[in-house]
C-alpha cells in the first residue's frame, strides 16, 4: 500500500491517497514544502483543538482558571494556534503490524498499520496539561459490490499525563479531496448524511444549536459547481441526540457514513465515515498555494474537506463542553475511515 498511501512525520500528514492512478488528496512532494507552503493544512492531523475557539480563550477549567491563546483567525484561535499539531514533527511512521478496521465489513486485505506519537507539553500553544497523543493509520483493500475498494482507517488516542487535572482536545484530519483528476472539484456529486448544522457567525463560531441547513438539500445528491454551492459549515450527525451525551472517547460508537462523493469524469467514488458527532464540510474557497516543487498551483475549490470532530467551540458552550474536556485517567479517542474506488 506504500505506493498508494503515504504519510509524513510533519503533522502526521496524509501525503497521498491514490485511486485508479489519481492522487485524490492535495499535497506536496516533500516535507519541506509542507513546512513552507501548507497554509491550507493539506492532510494534517489537527490539534490540540481543531476548528475555532471563540475569543481565543477558555474559562472555567482546572478549578476556574482562564487560558488565553493566540488569535490567528480574526478574534479566534484556529486549529490549535500558530504551531498546532499539524505543524509539529511526530515520531513515526512506526509499523505496528496488521490490524482490522472495526465497522468495515468484508475481508480486509493488507491491514498494515503505522503509528505516530507526539508529546504535547504543558503550556503548548497556551493549553494546560501534558498530553501523549497517538495516531494509527491502517491501510488495506476490501471487495464491495464486486469493486476493489481502498480503505484507510484512522484512530486517535490521547491521554493527559501531567501538568493539570483537565484539558481540552478535539482532533481531526484536514485532507483536501479532489476526485476529478483536474485542477478543481467542479462536477463532483456529493451527498451528506444530514441536513442539520450549526449556524455560524461571520468568524465561524456557532450562534445556536443545530438547525436545518436550507441553502442546498444536502441529504440528496447535489453537484459542486465552479463557485457554488460554497460550504464552510459544521454539520451535526444526529441532532436528536443530546450534545452533552457525546463521550470523550467515541471509538466504540458505530461508524456513520458522513459524506459520499463521486466524479463522473474520473469515475472515482469516495466515502468518509466516522464515530464523531459532527463534521466540517468545506469546499476550499480560500485555498491559495503557488506552483512549487513540481506541484501545480492550487487555488479556490481545488479540494474539499470533510473534518469529523466535536461541535465547533464546544468548550465555550455549557451544554457541549464535555465533548472536549479530557480529565486525568481518561482517554480521548475517535475514528475516521476513508473508502475510495474507481468504477
Give me the active site residues, please. Answer: 174
Pairing type for strands 91-98 and 176-177 reads unpaired
Residue 262: strand, helix, or coil? strand
How does 110-129 read in b/e, with b if 16+ C-beta sit within 10 Å? bbbbbbbebebeeebbbbbb
Residue 316: strand, helix, or coil? helix
Q: How many CA atoms lie within 13 A of 210 on its CB side?
A: 19
List, edge to edge, every strand of the sheet that includes 232-236: 176-177, 304-309, 278-282, 232-236, 196-198, 211-212
Helix (H) / strand (E) element for 32: namely helix 31-37
From CA 153, how far away is CA 103, in angstroms rounded?
10
Amino acid at each position: 500500500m506504500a505506493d498508494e498511501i503515504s504519510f509524513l512525520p510533519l503533522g502526521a500528514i496524509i501525503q497521498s491517497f491514490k485511486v485508479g492512478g489519481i492522487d485524490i488528496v492535495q499535497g506536496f512532494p516533500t516535507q519541506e514544502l509542507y513546512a513552507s507552503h501548507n497554509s491550507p493544512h493539506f492532510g494534517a492531523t489537527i490539534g490540540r483543538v481543531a476548528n475555532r475557539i471563540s475569543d481565543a480563550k477558555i474559562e472555567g477549567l482546572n478549578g476556574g482558571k482562564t487560558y488565553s491563546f493566540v488569535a490567528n483567525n480574526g478574534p479566534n484561535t484556529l486549529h490549535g494556534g500558530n504551531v498546532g499539531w499539524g505543524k509539529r514533527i511526530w515520531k513515526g511512521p512506526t509499523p505496528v503490524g496488521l490490524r482490522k478496521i472495526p465497522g468495515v465489513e468484508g475481508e480486509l486485505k493488507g491491514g498494515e498499520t503505522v503509528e505516530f506519537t507526539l508529546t504535547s507539553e504543558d503550556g503548548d500553544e497556551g493549553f494546560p496539561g501534558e498530553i501523549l497523543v497517538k495516531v494509527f493509520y491502517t491501510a488495506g483493500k476490501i471487495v464491495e459490490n464486486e469493486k476493489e475498494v481502498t480503505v484507510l482507517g484512522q484512530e486517535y488516542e490521547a491521554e493527559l499525563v501531567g501538568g493539570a487535572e483537565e484539558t481540552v482536545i478535539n482532533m481531526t484530519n484536514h485532507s483536501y479531496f479532489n476526485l476529478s483528476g483536474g485542477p478543481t472539484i467542479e462536477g463532483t456529486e456529493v451527498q451528506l448524511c444530514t441536513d442539520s448544522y450549526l449556524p455560524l457567525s461571520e468568524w465561524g463560531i456557532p450562534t445556536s444549536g443545530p438547525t436545518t441547513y436550507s441553502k442546498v438539500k444536502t441529504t440528496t445528491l447535489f453537484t459542486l459547481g465552479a463557485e457554488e454551492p460554497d460550504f464552510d459549515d459544521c454539520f451535526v450527525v444526529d441532532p436528536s441526540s443530546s450534545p452533552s451525551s457525546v463521550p470523550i472517547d467515541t471509538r466504540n460508537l458505530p461508524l456513520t457514513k458522513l459524506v459520499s462523493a463521486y466524479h463522473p469524469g474520473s469515475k472515482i467514488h469516495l466515502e468518509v465515515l466516522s464515530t464523531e458527532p459532527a463534521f466540517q464540510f468545506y469546499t476550499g474557497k480560500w485555498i491559495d498555494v503557488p506552483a512549487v516543487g513540481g506541484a501545480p498551483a492550487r487555488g479556490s475549490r481545488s479540494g474539499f474537506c470533510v473534518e469529523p470532530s466535536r461541535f465547533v467551540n464546544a468548550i465555550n458552550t455549557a451544554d457541549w463542553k464535555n465533548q472536549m474536556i479530557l480529565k486525568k485517567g481518561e482517554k480521548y479517542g475517535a475514528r475516521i475511515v476513508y473508502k475510495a474506488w474507481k468504477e
